[in-house]
Amino acid sequence: MIIVTGAAGFIGSCLIQRLNQDNFNYIIAVDDFSDEQKNKNLDGKKIQERVDREHFFEWLDANYQEVEFCFHIGARTDTTEFNVDIFNKLNLNYSKKIWKKCHDYQIPLVYASSAATYGLGELGYDDNESLIPQLKPLNPYGESKNDFDIWALKQEEQPFFWAGLKFFNVYGPNEFHKGRMASVIWHTFNQIKNTGMMKLFKSHNENYKDGEQMRDFVYVKDVVEVCIYLMHHRRNSGVYNLGSGNARTFLDLVKNTFKALNLPENISFIDTPEDIRDKYQYFTEANMSKLQSIGYDKNFTTLEDGVNDYVKNYLAVEQYY
């Protein structure tokens, strides 16, 4: 029996599909199942039971003896939300409770952290745990993720294996429901489909040309491969980066989307909105050496291959993974 929180969401639903591929079908899906659009992510997947997140802990107290692993992927991920109480409830305190239950019931745990913890990258993008208390996230979402990482690292009572994964810019199928919070590739595809062109933010940093701001874009299929690896590995607890390890420009991303659609490039630039201009990241890139040092040796999907697969096999034909 494997628990997946955030089961109907983007990464959670892709993880369930990947588990099903390995014949792990005894899945306990935990989420708020009130969003019918999001629930489509679970169509066709093999799930033993759906448990509302509000009732999850009662369920766990009654069923913990059957649970083999917990993936805590669920979180409020809206970077434009500034109500700290929401993040304290759903990200920080809910995660603390899961951690304590996983310790008490000896359930190994993988949880979702975020590259949003790195802020503007003043200290780089190295998953050195000694640096985590010094990081300066840019919004309450990033703060909630960093606060939990800090708390987890201080705990003497821990699950016998645990890993926090700092997801970088994840993209891929099953993010239809995310709206503004969906990946840049999703927005690019839809803008091209609707207007035949793509508008990117201008650079307001003299070190970067327009469109050459860089991000570590990581394909969701790679993210779930790492999750599967850690489920079997169950050693070397700690906080790990999870990106591709290779920063790419927004121009690269957009040009590859046009190419996957077999359309001529039509790209223009608009001013970055002033309300986010001073907090805009011009570069992110995960140092992936720590994960590799514990034996993870699969190659990460290139941006070219990832965009091509995502656009042709999912977005253009409105398919789920």
The answer to whether the annotation marks 38 as part of a ligand binding site is yes
The answer to whether the annotation marks 77 as part of a ligand binding site is yes
The answer to whether the annotation marks 76 as part of a ligand binding site is yes
Is the separation of the CB atoms in 202 and 269 below 8 Å? yes
Spatial CA neighbour of 112 closest among 132, 92, 86: 92
From CA 237, how far away is CA 229, in angstroms rounded?
Answer: 13
The answer to whether the annotation marks 53 as part of a ligand binding site is yes
Q: Which of 94, 111, 118, 141 is catalytic?
A: 141
The answer to whether the annotation marks 11 as part of a ligand binding site is yes
The answer to whether the annotation marks 56 as part of a ligand binding site is no
Total H helices, total E strands in the chain: 12, 13
Helix axes of 220-233 and 10-21: crossing angle, nearest 10 degrees: 60
The answer to whether the annotation marks 277 as part of a ligand binding site is no
Give yes or no: 240 in active site.
no
Is the separation of the CB atoms in 49 and 29 below 8 Å? yes
Alpha helices in 122-241 (DSSP H): 140-154, 184-195, 220-233
The answer to whether the annotation marks 309 as part of a ligand binding site is no
Spatial CA neighbour of 280 closest among 191, 178, 169, 203: 203
Residue 37 burial class via C-beta count within 10 angstroms: exposed 0-12, middle 13-18, buried 19 and up? exposed
The answer to whether the annotation marks 32 as part of a ligand binding site is yes
The answer to whether the annotation marks 170 as part of a ligand binding site is yes
From CA 108, how far away is CA 94, in angstroms rounded?
Answer: 17
Tokens of 19: 């588990």
Q: Which of 96, 100, 178, 199 is catalytic?
A: 178
The answer to whether the annotation marks 166 as part of a ligand binding site is no
The answer to whether the annotation marks 202 as part of a ligand binding site is yes
The answer to whether the annotation marks 280 as part of a ligand binding site is yes
Strands of 238-242's sheet, edge to edge? 49-52, 27-31, 2-5, 69-72, 109-114, 162-167, 238-242
**Given its phi and psi angles, is residue 74 left (phi above 0), alpha (psi -120 to 50 degrees) or beta?**
beta
The answer to whether the annotation marks 43 as part of a ligand binding site is no
The answer to whether the annotation marks 167 as part of a ligand binding site is no
Is the separation of the CB atoms in 136 and 109 below 8 Å? no
Strand stretches in the chain, DSSP E: 2-5, 27-31, 49-52, 69-72, 109-114, 162-167, 169-171, 198-201, 214-215, 217-219, 238-242, 248-249, 267-270
The answer to whether the annotation marks 126 as part of a ligand binding site is no
How many other CB atoms are found less than 10 A from the CB of residue 145?
28
The answer to whether the annotation marks 145 as part of a ligand binding site is yes
Give yes or no: 141 in active site.
yes
Annotated binding site for substrate: 169, 180, 187, 201-204, 215, 280
Annotated binding site: 10-11, 31-32, 38, 53, 73-77, 145, 169-170, 178, 180, 187, 201-204, 215, 280
Q: Which residues are catalytic?
A: 141, 178
Annotated binding site for NADP(+): 10-11, 31-32, 38, 53, 73-77, 145, 170, 178
